[in-house]
Amino acid sequence: MRILFIADGRSAIALNWIRWFIATGYEVHLASTFPCQPEPGLASFTIIPVALSEVKASAPSTSTPARSSPPAFPPDPPVPNPPPLDPPTTVRQWLGPLTLPRAARRLRRLIAGVQPDLVHAMRIPYEGMLAALALQNAPTPLLISIWGNDFTLHAPSTPLMRRHTRLALRRADALHTDCQRDQHLAVEWGFTAGKPAIVLPGGGGIQLDVFHPAEQDEQPPLVLNPRGLRAYVRTDTIFRAIQLVHARRPQVRFACTGMAAQPEALRWVSELGLEGVVELLAPLSRLEMAALFRRAQLMLSITNHDGTPNTLLEGLASGCFPIAGDIPALREWITSGVNGLLVDPANPAALADAILHALDHPDLRAAAREHNLNLIRQRADYPTVMRQAEAFYQQITKDSPRRALS
């Protein structure tokens, strides 16, 4: 099978998929929407910038459309005074769709040359939008992967984002999401119910030889926030909760990745008097993250809305006790009080209480650890997930009515 990925070639999520299919002998081509170095083993590599990606330095970051009837999954709870979107995200949402036609012409020429059996676009903005435009009236099957905030942050943000989200989902022949919530939202946004669809971890699963538990807890207790600074992460809730925990349990330490030298994070530390309590870390490599997860007892994932975060699955595999925002997608993985705790993402006091409760109940953490290791083995083991993805690719190319008509 000849596969063309439309993806951010810098993304560890995309590379997990690309590397698997290269290693298993498929002919793999990549059209990267961001400048990057080619992955060894690719049959071809092309950079097709879109949505100002050539001038955006950091990897991309995703409110729910109005509904005429109650949704199958309840919407994420409204949050008072959510943090504003960072300017690059807002600019890309307004201007990004205007760059699609030119990029689609380039991609159309590439597709004509490669003649792929399947095009896999990894997320809707802007890779799925780009692929759908390039494949108008073309027979090649299109699979679109939905990433955590495609629907909840990006799709409803501007009129053109709404339009191109609907166009992409109407053109898609198949759908991959990392949570059941997005299967339902995809239909609301235009995907045809009954077409091939699958729910698998977005990053292709967890490599359990890398992410695994420590033999015993280290001291002093460490609470890890691996989510960085993102528009939908409640950084305000997290830092205010840290202040509350520190007042009651000063020996507890906190680490936040992706925040070193970031003005917003430095301001929170300074204003709340958290110097020496919180360590602000630069972005870490996968091996460094695995070691940090093993050092931590608890991990935080406090978001307004989300899909299935890869950091959540990595933390579960590493034996971290998860405390997360009480939102639909995370309820698909965490049963509060059983294998983690769910809290109102806008409530620092509730988060602080949850952190202290988890630290005070090692029996809860131990039971959750065993539960979560089994959960990851069953639902997120990398080779198992990727074999399911491989079978799904075969189903799409075999059953595609577009191929039959071409």
Which pLDDT belongs to residue 67? 30
CA-to-CA distance for 66 and 370, rounded, in angstroms? Answer: 40
In 167-264, beta strands by DSSP E = 174-177, 197-199, 222-225, 253-256
Which pLDDT belongs to residue 329? 95
Which amino acid belongs to residue 402?
A: R
CA-to-CA distance for 23 and 46, rounded, in angstroms? Answer: 20
| Residue pointed to by tokens 């978001």 | 303
CA-to-CA distance for 97 and 50, rounded, in angstroms? Answer: 8
Q: Please choose, from the candidates 194, 152, 151, 186, the residue with its C-alpha nearest in 3D space to the C-alpha of residue 169.
A: 186
Which pLDDT belongs to residue 85? 52
For 320, the token pair is 């971290």
> Which residue ranges does the chain devote to CATH 3.40.50.2000?
2-205+381-405, 222-379
What CATH fold (topology level) applies to the domain 222-379? Rossmann fold (3.40.50)
* 322 contacts: CB under 8 Å, gap ≥ 6: 298, 299, 300, 301, 312, 315, 316, 334, 339, 340, 341, 368, 372
Low-confidence ranges of the chain (pLDDT < 50): 57-82, 404-406
Q: Between β-strands 174-177 and 142-145, what pairing exists: parallel, antiparallel or unpaired? A: parallel
CA-to-CA distance for 308 and 55, rounded, in angstroms? Answer: 28
CB 217 within 8 A of CB 247: no
Strands across the sheet containing 174-177: 44-47, 27-32, 2-7, 118-122, 142-145, 174-177, 197-199
* 97 contacts: CB under 8 Å, gap ≥ 6: 51, 126, 129, 158, 160, 161, 163, 164
What does pTM read for this prediction?
0.90
Neighbours of 267 (CB within 10 A): 11
For 179, the token pair is 């949570």
Which pLDDT belongs to residue 148? 85
Q: Please choose, from the candidates 239, 248, 226, 222, the residue with its C-alpha nearest in 3D space to the C-alpha of residue 274.
A: 239
Measure CA 30 to chain center: 20
Whether the ω angle into residue 49 lies within 30 degrees of 0, i.e. cis, is no
* Class of residue 197 by CB neighbours under 10 A (exposed 0-12, middle 13-18, buried 19+): buried
Intra-chain end-to-end CA distance of the chain, in Å: 17
Q: Using alpha carbons only, how large is the chain's radius of gyration in Å?
A: 21
- Phi-psi label, residue 109: left if phi above 0, alpha if psi -120 to 50, beta otherwise: alpha
For 259, the token pair is 């925040």
For 60, the token pair is 């991309």
CA-to-CA distance for 305 and 151, rounded, in angstroms? Answer: 10
**3-state class (DSSP) for residue 312:** helix
In 262-364, beta strands by DSSP E = 278-280, 298-301, 321-325, 341-343
| Residue pointed to by tokens 């100002």 | 52
CATH 3.40.50.2000 fits domain 2-205+381-405: yes
